[in-house]
Amino acid sequence: MTLTTSGLIFMILSWAGIISLNVFCFYKIFHKK
Amino acid sequence: MNSSRENWGSKLGVILAVAGSAVGLGNFLRFPVQAATNGGGTFIIPYIIAFLVLGIPLSWVEWTFGRYAGILRHGTSPGAYDRIIGKPWGKYLGSLGLLPPLLIIFYYVFVESWILAFTWYSLTGKLSEVVQAGQITEFFGGFISLKEMAGPIPAAILFFVITFVCNMALISFGVRKGIERVNKISMPILFIMGIILVVRVLTLPGIGEGLAFMWNPDFSALAEPTVWLAAAGQVFFTMSLGMGIVFCYASYTRRNEDIVLSSLSAGAANGFAEIILGGTIVIPLAVIVIGANIEECAKLGTFGLAFQSMPLVFGQIPFGGIFMTLWFAMLFIAGLTSAISIIQPLISFCEDDLKFSRRKSVATIGTISFIGGIVAIAGLAAGAVDELDFWGGSFLLVLLGTIEAIIFSLILGRKKSETNPNESEAMALLNEGAIIKLPKIFRYIILYVCPAGLIALLVAWILHDGLDILLLRNIASDATVEFLGCTLSQKAFVIGFRLFLVACVGFVNLAIWYAWKSGRATGRLDKIKTVRIGRSEEDA
């Protein structure tokens, strides 16, 4: 079995989603006015 | 006698502590198997939906309850429910929040001690020798059945005692100097170790084949109700919900400090450990290095994958000994931070409701959990740990989570706030000091969708998985087990063990009765009762 394009898309989108959520949360915490 | 409570030293401290509690074996071992066997990449769709309508809303509910309890100088649900429900039975309903930590700690420290032992064996090279001799299954079996010796005593007992003392020593330093400090140091280390392992896995030849098992989508899986149930269950268990832990940790936050963003941040950090670290390391490695298929991985279960497959995998890659040590050290950090979070609600009950000193609380909970641990070790082969995991680690979590969501929605969500007349008590407490205000749609999700979803999850889970275990249908009538040198019917053992669990429930409720009867919990002794939710502790 090889990694299909749709598999790669699911993986990249999942990674991007969770990294973005972490960046958003921790940016807000460390840049609190 | 205590009249004041500790607070977290920093916002990052509480976030890392909650994330440390949530990140555990489930992130690295349960999630990948669940995803691979439930539609691969498609699993992420029901997973995200469950995260949005169950996970995060229930997490906010628990943080709010924790804040409510903390203002009243309680850290667990008996104190909070007594006040919220306003009936004498409220505090006994709250005993459900003490049972999961009590039952889980009976076996969790033992499992944590296996990880410490395997970290040590990896570091000394013994595990590599065992793998090369092709005896990892026998070695693991011998270790947990106390046949592997360290001098005159079984190695498993030696590591259990070391782990137990380590947990209790850390927790004895308190919330800020113990729990917060441990998490602030160890969680970044855990993430660095995980990222190193992910980079190693992604640079292995043929990694696409391994990732295919994890991420290639099977859209037909979305039509399967079991896939949605698996996703909801995974989100629920991975975020440490329904265990009284988030509740307890949140009770130590300061008044007017954000809880909306803190909760979301802890969930995001846990998601990182689950989706990126958990989704990349175990299954792809097992598939490409030892040629395991998904069915084999699922059959091995969490412990088989962690303690048998992964040493085999690391034994076959260059510098495998180093990565094997990293793997077990990472799991040990995850186990340690989770273990101290499981103990803390029990310590909090002793300190806040029984008014014990911290030393006396640690000694009391230490003694109880040590005795429970010995019972779990003695009954491991007979199925004691499975029973504890079913009741303490599965059934009660979903039940307590459902009750929390209902109480939040029907009682706290309908009560007018004393500080903000336009808001309900629930929303006023949740939004107090928030760095990001709760989006309006989540008010409806928390108050209506989340309780309905949890009731559906509880019913579906009981019908799909729970009923057979509840009614002992999963045990053959002629099955026998060994317990303390005696051979007895497995059904008889399980019934006997459930009577022991009933005794634990009675013991917890007796302690609650004493705490209220003596006036220690209600504040008759130190005027705690004068604190009102609408006013800060300092005002009172």
Percent of chain B residues topping a pLDDT of 90: 83
pLDDT at B75 over 50: yes
Percent of chain B residues topping a pLDDT of 70: 96
For residue B530, what pLDDT is reported?
42
Residue type, B278: G
Give the Cα separation of B234 and B195 in Å (integer): 22
Number of Cβ within 10 Å of residue B476's Cβ equals 10
Q: Do B211 and A7 touch (CB under 8 A)?
A: yes
Q: How far is A2 from chain B (nearest CA, A)?
A: 5
pLDDT at B2 over 70: no
Work out the pLDDT band at B255, boundaries 50, 70, 90. Answer: confident
Q: Is A3 on the interface with B (CB under 8 A)?
A: yes
Q: Which of B259, B242, B261 is nearest to B250 (CA)?
A: B259
Mean of the pLDDT values across residues B243-269? Answer: 95
Query: Of B35-44, B300-309, B375-384, B525-534, which gets the smallest average pLDDT?
Result: B525-534
Q: Give B213's contacts in chain A (Cβ within 8 Å).
A: 1
Averaged pLDDT of chain B:
92
Query: Of A3-12, B140-149, B457-466, which gets the smallest average pLDDT?
Result: B457-466
Work out the pLDDT band at B313, boundaries 50, 70, 90. Answer: very high
Q: For residue B368, give both structure tokens.
A: 């109880």
Q: Give A27's contacts in chain B (Cβ within 8 Å).
A: none
For residue B300, what pLDDT is reported?
77
Is the interface score ipTM higher than 0.95?
yes
Q: Are the C-beta atoms of B487 and B493 separated by less than 8 Å?
A: no
Size of interface A-B (CB pairs under 8 A): 77
Work out the pLDDT band at B534, boundaries 50, 70, 90. Answer: low
Mean of the pLDDT values across residues B23-35? Answer: 92
Work out the pLDDT band at A32, boundaries 50, 70, 90. Answer: low
For residue B529, what pLDDT is reported?
44
Nearest beta carbon to residue B209 from set A2, A18, A25: A2
Q: For residue B367, give both structure tokens.
A: 């003694």
Mean of the pLDDT values across residues B226-240? Answer: 91
pLDDT at B1 over 50: no
Query: Of B49-63, B189-203, B292-306, which gets the smallest average pLDDT?
Result: B292-306
| Phi, psi torsion values for B487, nearest 5 degrees | -100, 125
Q: Do B435 and A29 touch (CB under 8 A)?
A: yes
Q: Which of B317, B173, B253 is nearest to B13 (CA)?
A: B253
pLDDT digits 0-9 by tens, B77-112: 999 999 999 999 999 999 999 999 999 999 999 999
Q: Is A31 on the interface with B (CB under 8 A)?
A: no
pLDDT digits 0-9 by tens, B316-344: 999 999 999 999 999 999 999 999 999 99
Q: Do B215 and A10 touch (CB under 8 A)?
A: yes
pLDDT digits 0-9 by tens, B454-493: 999 999 989 988 899 999 998 999 999 999 889 999 999 9
Work out the pLDDT band at B5, boundaries 50, 70, 90. Answer: confident
Give the Cα separation of B167 and B433 in Å (integer): 33
Query: Of B3-17, B144-158, B293-307, which gets the smallest average pLDDT?
Result: B293-307
Which chain A residue has the Cα nearest residue B277? Answer: A15
For residue B533, what pLDDT is reported?
59
Work out the pLDDT band at A33, boundaries 50, 70, 90. Answer: low
Give the Cα separation of B386 and B369 in Å (integer): 17
pLDDT at B526 over 70: no
Instruction: List own/partner pairs for B377-382 with CB under 8 A and 24 or more apart.
Output: B377/B110, B377/B146, B377/B156, B377/B157, B377/B160, B378/B483, B378/B484, B379/B483, B379/B493, B379/B497, B380/B110, B380/B144, B380/B145, B381/B145, B381/B481, B381/B482, B381/B483, B382/B481, B382/B482, B382/B483, B382/B490, B382/B493
> pTM score, two decimals?
0.94
CA B193 from chain centre, in angstroms, equals 21
Nearest beta carbon to residue A4 from set B216, B269, B276: B216
pLDDT digits 0-9 by tens, B438-464: 999 999 999 999 999 999 999 998 998
**DSSP-derived secondary structure for B359-400:** HHHHHHHHHHHHHHHHHHHHTTTTTHHHHHHHIIIIIHHHHH
Q: For residue B284, give both structure tokens.
A: 């792809």
B interface mutation test: which of A2, A4, A8, A11 has the most B CBs within 10 A? A11
pLDDT at B528 over 70: no
Mean of the pLDDT values across residues B254-276? Answer: 95
Q: Do A3 and B216 touch (CB under 8 A)?
A: yes
Nearest beta carbon to residue B264 from set A4, A19, A25: A25
| Count of alpha carbons within 13 angstroms of residue B117, beta-carbon side | 26
Mean of the pLDDT values across residues B409-435? Answer: 91
Query: Of A13-17, B244-248, B373-377, which gets the smallest average pLDDT?
Result: B373-377
Give the Cα separation of B516 and B521 in Å (integer): 5
